Structure 1
Amino acid sequence: MSEREEPGDPVGDCIFCAIVNGQAEASVVHEDDVVLVFMDLAPVTPGHLLVVPRVHAVGLEDLDEATGRHVWTIGHQMAKALRRSGLRCEGINVFLADGEAAFQEVPHVHLHVFPRFPGDGFTIDARWAVRSRELLNAEATAVQGAFTT
């Protein structure tokens, strides 16, 4: 795990661990033995939810697969709930940032689920470019070589 925190135990300065343990306030939407879902304090749009595993895990690599599956299952259910909620919701984004370079701001795995509508101000921008088949094949080979089940 290199220099990352050990997964599992709450980390003293982790705001999500504090919320999970009832030591910090949150507007809770759903909770079970595995996850807590609450409103994002600084939402992209009204209704922005965070699905947070109760166990502390910095990134996806630190999260056991059963918990990861449950996070995504609850995220899917929350997306359906947002569409039925009466909040403005013409689309949904499901977003997970894994690592600082990916814009992860809180070092505790969390899934964003938020309503979208025209003019909401959220953008995703990149230098989209078609890559050659040769490069794509080489990248696919690299990932295949690292893949484990």
Structure 2
Amino acid sequence: MSTDSDCLFCGIVAGDVPGTRVAEDEATYAFMDINPATPGHLLVVPKRHSADLLEIDPADLSAVTLAAQRIAAVARAELGADGVNLLNCCGADAWQTVFHFHLHVIPRYADDTMTPPWRPGAGGDADAVRATGARLAAALEPGGSSSER
């Protein structure tokens, strides 16, 4: 497994840093968030270090997502949650504070006080939405301009 000796989450996975383990398999490790947004808030990480969503190996991303799905279902049933948020932050400007890919599994309750930074609203400028969609679609086509695929 590739690890980063300066990475907090690599330290938790290795057992060198304290953490409350919830689940573990060959590729993933899940542990409680020490600053929970709601009761039951936890993190699922790949055991192999990758800084963020743009760096993670596709197999590790799949494993983390599937583990988060399984854990979310258990958290919802066991904790009586009314819903669940899965959250990933990629980059400092997107609120990423630990640079080891992770998914937050956040059980949601009808009476919780967690307020996400964005709420769906009345909609954006339809022309701008279509133009941005067309630009992204073109970049994703074979031979498109995107350097990230």
Sequence identity of aligned pairs in percent? 35
What is the match of residue 22 of structure 2?
A: 29
Instruction: Determine helix, strand or coil for the equivalent of 1:37.
Output: strand
Query: In the TM superposition, what is the alpha-carbon distance from 1:88 to its structure 2 partner?
Result: 4.1
What is the match of residue 95 of structure 2?
A: 103
2: CA distance between counterparts of 1:62 and 1:44? Answer: 26
TM-score (normalised: structure 1): 0.85
Query: In the TM superposition, what is the alpha-carbon distance from 1:14 to its structure 2 partner?
Result: 1.0
Structure 1: which 5+ runs fail to align? 1-7
Instruction: Determine helix, strand or coil for the equivalent of 1:62.
Output: coil
Structure 1 residue runs of 4+, over 6 Å off? none
Across the aligned residues of Structure 1 and Structure 2, the Cα RMSD in angstroms comes to 1.9
Query: In the TM superposition, what is the alpha-carbon distance from 1:129 to its structure 2 partner?
Result: 5.0
2: CA distance between counterparts of 1:14 and 1:33? Answer: 19
1: CA distance between counterparts of 2:42 and 2:118? Answer: 25
Instruction: Determine helix, strand or coil for the equivalent of 1:61.
Output: coil
TM-score (normalised: structure 2): 0.85
Aligned residues: 141
Structure 2: which 5+ runs fail to align? 141-147
What is the match of residue 3 of structure 1?
A: none
Query: In the TM superposition, what is the alpha-carbon distance from 1:138 to its structure 2 partner?
Result: 1.5
